[in-house]
Amino acid sequence: MTISPNLSPDCGNCFALCCTALGFSRSADFAIDKPAASPCPNMAGDFSCTIHQSLRPRGFSGCTVFDCFGAGQVVSQQTFSGISWTQDPSSMSSMFAVFKIVRQLHEMLWYLAEAGERTFDPDLAAAADQLSEGIAAAAQGDAATVLAADVVSLHGEVRALLMEVSDEVRASYGAEDQQTVDGGVRAGADLVGANLANRRLCGADLRSAYLIGANLRGSDLTAADLLGADLRGAQLQGADLSKALYLTQPQINAAEGAPTTLIPTRLTSPAHW
């Protein structure tokens, strides 16, 4: 039986794969341009970040938002047996490609774990477990196994299951009534800068909604589907997201909150809160 991987980053056991494999462009989130498959100039020889304690004031807030869902240490220590790309430069291309895929697979596992816990249907829980086992096996395979994974098909299967669980859970919180009362709160809605403070948004479908800079202070988002919602700069002070659906660490890291913000137990409050 496949053992589920740790889905939390362990940077001390990673070869700085997020700082090398991925690229970024100069923007409000990054102070410089960095091509993919190249080391960040702020990376030290031991793969640590030389400006880790001052990333935001130095213009690298994008780095504080990113989360690999534990892919970095798996690829570094398991797939490539603890031999870094600096020790074996010939492995660089393969290692970086594998990292990008394993991150996607681990993100799927993150969502499936929650779906399996939140559903009321034993058959859906069993389906989530079975799908998770197959994805975990692919993620923990050798480089060839990972690169052969049909990520597109897996995304489709996972998304279908997540949506089914979402419909079920949200319905128990009067999701249909919520949509009728407030038609603007819907999947994919443009709610940039919207004032949604002190609202009961229980069971709302906010999947892939644009909530950039939205005011959600004091609102209750119990069972609200936040899959893929853009929470950059969203004001979450005093909001209750403790039982929101499909909330991830990157979404929380991108938002603005406070000690009064309630989040799921498997997430942690960002340092800038």
**Residue 215 pairs with which residues in a beta bridge?**
195, 235
Please give the structure tokens belonging to residue 233: 């700069």
Phi-psi region of 223 (alpha: psi -120 to 50; beta: other; left: phi over 0): left
| Rounded Cα–Cα distance for residues 18 and 13 (Å) | 13
CA angle (177 as vertex; 194, 230 as ends), nearest 5: 30
Block mean pLDDT (10 aa), the chain, length 273: 80 96 94 96 96 94 95 98 97 98 98 97 98 97 97 98 97 64 80 96 96 98 97 98 97 97 96 91
What is d(CA 150, CA 169) in angstroms, rounded to the nearest whole number?
29
**Phi, psi (rounded to 5 degrees) for 220:** -105, 115
- Residue 182: CB atoms within 10 A of its CB come to 14
Determine the pLDDT at residue 47: 96
What number does CATH give the domain 174-273? Answer: 2.160.20.80
Question: What pLDDT was estimated at residue 168?
Answer: 96
Tokens of 77: 């220590």
With H, G, I as helix, E, B as strand and everything else as coil, classify residue 240: strand
**Nearest-angstrom CA–CA distance, 71 and 62:** 18
User: At a CB cut-off of 8 Å and minimum separation 6, what does 143 contact?
Assistant: 79, 80, 94, 95, 98
pLDDT of residue 257: 97
Domain ranges in the chain?
11-22+66-169, 174-273
Cα(64)–Cα(272) distance, integer angstroms: 9
| H/E segment holding residue 269 | none
C-alpha dihedral (187, 191, 195, 199), degrees to nearest 10: 10
Residues whose CB falls within 8 Å of the CB of residue 190, separated by 6 or more in sequence, listed in order: 209, 210
Which of 167, 158, 66, 37 shows the shortest CA–CA distance to 105? 158
